[in-house]
Chains A and B, each alone.
Chain A
């Protein structure tokens, strides 16, 4: 190793958002000590304010910039590029919506607000760093920073057995996948002699030859396992449904959107910056994983009766669609033309953005309904269009987007973008699998949407026939969740009228990675 000066210059502007949020996390924890119990919800609002500031900081100061810091000769460990910024904005925006939902739920389920806000901010910090990391060690550390607080958040309902079980399940799967990932990294390091991504073997003595290529390929595939857990891809998906159900609802939304987006951010960093080359190794693996993930997710979702469980399986299936563009690259020959690769990256980013908003829309309505119907079964939504038309309309629109049929035009184009990338790469079989999956998925989204417009609440046992009514008498604390519903719905409606607003991400990204 070259000798590095002990004191590196640090570009504080580049790391402003995660640094600020990390400090705020500690601040919130301290603040909580001094707050009287009945005002502890202020901690959540403080966290929300911090996230909003970070959002605008990132949007206004860092947008379009390219900065790098923590550099050693040969490369940098942390880089802010246009596409990093897009993912960071996505994480921050989604986290803000999750905090709005939390403001309602934490208050009503008497969760410890200070710890809650602290843990959530820590996890968001990790997600921000993950998108900007350009070094495998930072990737692993950031990934763990995203995950560790979430274990605690999932288990926060202390007297609830399901909550603890969910936390334990999440923890075990996570530990296993991290171990596999670390093993993969050690293999990659052995071959490349460096942990920096995007730097072709500059280390002490990189191995060369066929054996080294094979070893590197195995290493990369093992690294993918760590991300497969985060994005709940088959075969690391089984934790998701139980965890979502056991966790407080905003945390389920967090897992399904922020944590998953962070996983994809890491995956894109590692694959598009670090390992463009052995695409012939990881491409086909990802293609198969994508096909299995979407098929299994959709098929199991067909049989769900509870809203959160259905969203969990749907979010597994959606992860399959998001993996498809990268998987499709496996059929594009090697090396993949740079433009094709960038298209695939852009398609993934666009899909993740659209997925985040529409899923948060659905989760927000589920949170609103869950206030009065803790079991949150699909039958609880019967006739909601007549009793609570705005929330029902928002949910119906979000479901149409998730299904990808008009009026959910933005969801439709999200799929079009992915299809386009997959067809362009020549992975026709994957496109056909996805087409069939779209049809399967339509069924369960439709069943749910249809329940909203049912004529009368169905007579089923003692659960009926109270109408799923407006929660007006449940107190005023519902407004943050309703605001979340309004925000997410406004965004999907605007994007549906002008899909260009989000699909322009392709131009924003430009060439996402240095030429190989």
Chain B
């Protein structure tokens, strides 16, 4: 059995095992089973990344016929673009389930909760390793229903509305995306990305249509302004683990789709649409920043900050240049680690105070430095990482994206992109403003409000890997760029498939 099949199959097996368990037994073992399975998946991902050889990326490919009638092959593969995301997914799921051991959101039901999280992991990992358009689509959709349950059953206030909004928005995007896939697949005669890449191209008007259709699906997921409005609600209502996975991984499925599918399959369409994509990305940066300044709810604030950060990713992709795309991939990972950490921390603060409302001084209090020094220090750390302090992981991705905008791919209007770069740069200032404001209001000041527990050992265990990685990637960005750069050069920009 191939490693990639195992990677997707393990969490699925865990999920099915839990579903088949009698409820009483299942509820007792669920949390630990979840930790064990997700740890195994993470170890497997690490083994795969050690075994990965940039010179022969297709060594791990798995392919067998699934639906010959439609020409759909179950083709999985991994390369420098997907490898970091696979690791990120496996890590965040593992940490989420570890955190769940001590913090199961109401109304409990551990068996169902863990099964749902594992099913989400199947979808996320599958999306990143699929090399067939329809297989990609299936995995892309697998995430929807369990995530809906995660929000609608274990969520906070307004959970049903938010969950419905999430799933309907995403499905509308992906239904149109499917049409784009079909258009491409029917014209190329295959749904396999490797074969589509090497087949004679579509006409440029068809490419534009295909790019827009596929892009709509990715843009809703990413999310791109003005299709983002599902995101703040979903993140706010979701339980902590849900927010971590949503922000940490699900959003990346959208930007990954752009890099993996939309750009190589429809390069001319991408070139036509790039300035618009960049402009919408920059609007997202500014809009996200301004919206954050106006937020009272901590979770909502972090959610809107995601809109801004993903704006940088979209800008980087839109430059169609090596620097920009590498920056986008880096920012993907950086944002996943940092925002994952932020949502963990904000969730912990909310659990302790019963509210995340910044204006609710009575409940939320002030001066967290004095009341829970470790938690407060971590929040401050994550905040400065998120605002892009050089030396931490948040810096490189956004810097490279802006650099890419300074010198976009030949054929794009450099003047326009430079103007967008300046506006995007303003966004980093806004990020500094809202994050420091948040730190000031939560952490600083004379201690007030209830006495709270500081971070527990379990929480620290779940958060420490993220902190370490944020520092490591900040100090040695080459670790990640060395993996992504050859893949970007070989697959995205050459116009050839993987």
A contact set with B: CB distance below 8 Å: 400, 405-407, 409, 412-413, 416-417, 419-420, 423-424, 428, 431-432, 435-436, 438-439, 442-443, 446, 450, 453, 455, 498-500, 503-507
Contact = CB atoms under 8 A, between A and B. Distances in A.
A56 to B, nearest CB: 25
Contacts of B272: none
Given A498-B66, A503-B69, 7 more contacts: A405-B141, A406-B142, A438-B171, A439-B171, A442-B171, A453-B153, A505-B69
A358 to B, nearest CB: 16
Given A413-B67, A423-B182, A431-B179, A436 B145 contact: no
A505 B68 CA distance: 11
A420 B145 contact: no
B104 to A, nearest CB: 15
Interface of B: 65-70, 107, 123, 134, 138, 141-142, 144-145, 148-149, 152-153, 160, 164, 167-168, 171-172, 175-176, 178-179, 182-183, 185-186
Nearest to B123: A406
B152 A435 contact: no
B179 A435 contact: yes
Contacts of A450: 152, 160
Contact of A446 (B141, B142, B148, B186): B148
Per CB-CB distance, the 4 closest pairs between chain A and chain B, nearest first, are A435-B175, A503-B69, A406-B142, A439-B172
A436 B141 contact: no
A423 B138 contact: no
Nearest to A442: B171
Nearest to A438: B175
Contact of A500 (B68, B182, B186): B68
Nearest to A508: B69
Nearest to B180: A423
Contacts of B148: 446
Contact of B70 (A400, A413, A431, A498): A413
B186 A420 contact: yes
B71 to A, nearest CB: 10
Chain A contact residues: over half helix, strand or loop, or mixed?
Answer: helix
Given A409-B138, A500-B69, A504-B69, A419 B168 contact: no
Given A423-B179, A432-B176, A412 B168 contact: no
Given A419-B182, A500-B66, A439 B168 contact: yes
A497 to B, nearest CB: 10
A506 B69 contact: yes
A400 B145 contact: yes
A439 B66 CA distance: 26
A378 to B, nearest CB: 15
20 contacts: A405-B141, A406-B138, A406-B141, A406-B145, A412-B138, A419-B179, A420-B182, A423-B179, A435-B172, A435-B176, A435-B178, A439-B168, A442-B168, A446-B164, A500-B65, A500-B67, A500-B68, A503-B67, A503-B69, A505-B69
Nearest to B19: A393
A214 B70 CA distance: 37
A412 B182 contact: no
A469 B427 CA distance: 56
A301 to B, nearest CB: 15
Contacts of A455: 107, 153
A185 B424 CA distance: 68
B176 A405 contact: no
Contact of B141 (A412, A431, A453): A412
A442 B149 CA distance: 14
A417 B145 CA distance: 22
Given A439-B171, A499-B67, A500-B67, A419 B138 contact: no
B27 to A, nearest CB: 13
B87 to A, nearest CB: 24
Contacts of B172: 435-436, 439
Q: Which residue of A409, A420, A505 has the most chain B CB atoms within 10 A of its CB atom?
A: A420
A333 to B, nearest CB: 16
A348 to B, nearest CB: 14
Contacts of A419: 178-179, 182
Nearest to A423: B182
Nearest to A440: B168
B175 A416 contact: no
Q: Which residue of B70, B149, B172, B176 has the most chain A CB atoms within 10 A of its CB atom?
A: B70
B175 A439 contact: yes
A345 to B, nearest CB: 14
B198 to A, nearest CB: 22
Contacts of B141: 405-406, 412
A241 B115 CA distance: 38
B21 to A, nearest CB: 12
Nearest to B65: A500
Nearest to B152: A450
Contacts of A432: 176, 179
A420 B183 CA distance: 8
